Amino acid sequence: MRKGEIDVISMGCSKNLIDSERLMKRLFEKGYEVIHDPEAPRGEWVVVNTCGFIQDAKEESIDLILQLGQLKQQRKIGRLVVMGCLSQRYMDDLKQEMPEVDIWYGKYDWKTFISSLPDRKENVNLPKDWERSLTTPPYSSYLKISEGCNRFCAFCAIPIITGRHTSRPIEEILEEVSDLVAKGVKEFNVIAQDLSSYGTDLYGRHALAELIDRMAGIEGVEWIRLHYAYPSDFPTDILDVMARRDNVCKYIDIALQHIADPVLSNMRRHIDGNKTRELLAEMRRRVPGLKIRTTLMVGFPGEGEEEFRQLLDFVRNERFERMGAFAYSEEDDTWAAKNLDDSIPEELKQERLDTLMKVQEEIALARNEEMIGRTVRVLIDRVEGDTRIGRTQWDSPEVDPEVYVSGSDACPGDFINVKITGAEPFELFGELV
């Protein structure tokens, strides 16, 4: 155990990661040595920022806490703190079941932990609320523009965990972006639980287009990429900004979940299949070169063989450039868990998921093969031997295809022009132009 060291372990999504980065910034300012996601935790304090979104993520968080509890018993770490979505949702139960945890916080009250720690240096600076210590590469950052969600989809626990949708003011976000650019950040992955609703609570109108347009006007912002839009009440004026601004990536992550009307109705998605198709067509028409990432769900109550066939046909027809999928599982306290019968066998859910992803793998390969011969701009992320590995504007970190580049001596953070020479379903290959 190392006195004065605080290990911060971040679980789950990029939105959680930003909370961890804000925590770390405040700990640094108080004079502590802070290690993010250490290979071997050894801190005087260990803080786990948990995920509580789906069952697998909850189990992963619980398993980690139990492992850290054993390290604490062995005196390899000091005190154990748990915060984040899982504890926000299940704190009372977890306190009884996990006495090895010293202090529990939810998703929003973790700043109390900061104030409880003694300063380890004089003249501690109080960071602005948005300031954080980046754990991502120095040229790339996530940017959270709102918190919470008002949609209350039948299957989703996010509103239960995060509360109502709350937008950050435009001026505050622009101040953060300018600060990050001055520190070398070039790529901004804009995130929110519901990107489509940005501004409606604060300004009484959709303000995503204004925000992104003004962000794009800041010198040094090379790429802006949009994540987690909602199809119902989508702010279509953002499409004009995407088409007009070269540094707004022709990419959007929009979770559609399904296409069959009975399933969409049961999901309480506030949109039907025809409106979904019309929105996708408008997106592609107004933003030439747009690549769409979506997420779909199989096995939700109401999905019979016909509804699943419609979903397969939809995927084949739309030919999404990027797609993920998962099988439905009940989440505590959601509308679906209380009101719908989860009667589809798990084996059938998995069979449908495998079938859907096999179709998508074929589409992904064909889409990537369409790139062969094109010259594209690539942001280099890492070096492996003589190969440079990076991403195009259509590829978000960690989830989308990478480009393997030969003939270059570029460093991480460099932009280079690459001619695509080969393709696999989830990888591209190219050479320096």
pLDDT at 154: 97
Question: For residue 227, what are the CA distances in angstroms to 194, 195, 307?
Answer: 9, 7, 27
Does 219 have pLDDT greater than 90? yes
3-state helix, strand, coil in the chain (%, to 5): 35, 25, 40
228 in the Ramachandran plot: left (φ > 0), alpha (ψ -120 to 50) or beta? left
pLDDT at 36: 96
Helix H or strand E encompassing 339: helix 335-339
Please give the share of the chain, as a percent, with pLDDT higher than 70: 100
134-146 residue pLDDT tens: 999 999 999 999 9
Query: What is the band of 126 on the pLDDT scale with cuts at 50, 70, 90?
Result: confident
Does 79 have pLDDT greater than 80? yes
Query: Kindly report the CA angle at 376 between 374 and 382, in degrees rounded to 5?
Result: 130
Query: What is the band of 150 on the pLDDT scale with cuts at 50, 70, 90?
Result: very high
Look at 113-127, 168-182, 221-235, 403-417 and tell me which has the smallest mean pLDDT: 113-127
Q: Do 393 and 378 touch, CB atoms closer than 8 A?
A: no
pLDDT at 391: 98
Q: Taking residues 386-405, what's their average pLDDT?
A: 97
Q: Taking residues 429-433, what's their average pLDDT?
A: 96
Match 């405040």 to its residue by tokens: 26
pTM: 0.94
Q: Do 315 and 296 touch, CB atoms closer than 8 A?
A: yes
418-427 residue pLDDT tens: 999 999 999 9
Question: For residue 433, what are the CA distances in angstroms to 184, 323, 395, 407?
Answer: 25, 29, 20, 9
19-76 residue pLDDT tens: 999 999 999 999 999 999 999 999 999 999 998 777 777 888 999 999 999 999 999 9
Distance CA 39, CA 299 (A): 37
Please give the share of the chain, as a percent, with pLDDT higher than 90: 87
81-90 residue pLDDT tens: 999 999 988 9
In three-state form (DSSP H/G/I as H, E/B as E, the rest C), the secondary structure along 397-412 is CCCCCEEEEECCCCCC
Instruction: Calculate the average pLDDT of the chain.
Output: 95
pLDDT at 3: 87
231-277 residue pLDDT tens: 999 999 999 999 999 999 999 999 999 999 999 999 999 999 999 99
